[in-house]
Structure 1
Amino acid sequence: MVLSNRTMSGTFDDHATAQTTHHQGEIRYVGSREQGETVVTTHPGGERLTPERSLQIARHSPSGFAVGYRGSGPAQLALAVLLNYTDNAALAREHYQTFKDEVISQLEYGADGTWTLTDADIEHVLHDDVAPTA
């Protein structure tokens, strides 16, 4: 399963090209690899998501993030994304294992070397209980 695997140009990378339009305010997390590490950038804003804040809640993977399986790197990423998205530590703690199992473990890098999570991917797990912070 590839979730929202859009390239930065706004096209899908699933053997068919389709234009996408992002409604204003859509929150995205774009992952790539740099020197063997998973790097996640938040959009809008282009800020790099780091594990530091999430490590204060649970120390699954101090060495960084990962995707595509149900291990410690994906758990740290799931917690970091939910914490960043909701700005609510209790809510992030409550939902991050499900988010890891249902979403993060299913992510795959596309042909362009990236993956993308949207606010819709996140809210699917949160069951629309949470509004984004910004």
Structure 2
Amino acid sequence: MRGTLEILDLMMALFVFAGLANNTASGGDVLADFLVDKWPPMVRKGLDCFAAALGAAMYGLIAWGMYNQAIKAAKIGDMTPALLLPVAPFQFAVAAGALLLASVYLTRMLAINGTNTEGQTA
């Protein structure tokens, strides 16, 4: 059917980036912490903080790159080949989802820094 793959691609990008921030904020990530549990609390806290900072930076860069790409697509009027749907709104939505996820990681990093090694607020 004409345009089916285009619709699937656009919807997949929307659904993935729309759900990532919610999944991460609600603690739905898969954690393999069977080794980390045996490490000292200060090391675990440092690794958690590093992972959150890395996630914030990575998804911040994705948001920035996708936003720039969406601006370019909007300026030139980029459309999908078969259905002639504008691409920019989907790219802006992906950028927004990535930015939201970056903010979740940044919030997590700040929360980790505000607690002591026993998990209590400093």
Q: Give the TM interval when normalised to the shorter protein.
A: under 0.3
Q: Relative contact order (alpha carbons < 8 A, sep ≥ 6): 1 or 2 greater?
A: 2
Normalized per residue, which structure has more helix?
2
Q: Give TM-score, length-normalised by structure 2.
A: 0.25
Is the radius of gyration larger for structure 1 or structure 2?
A: 2
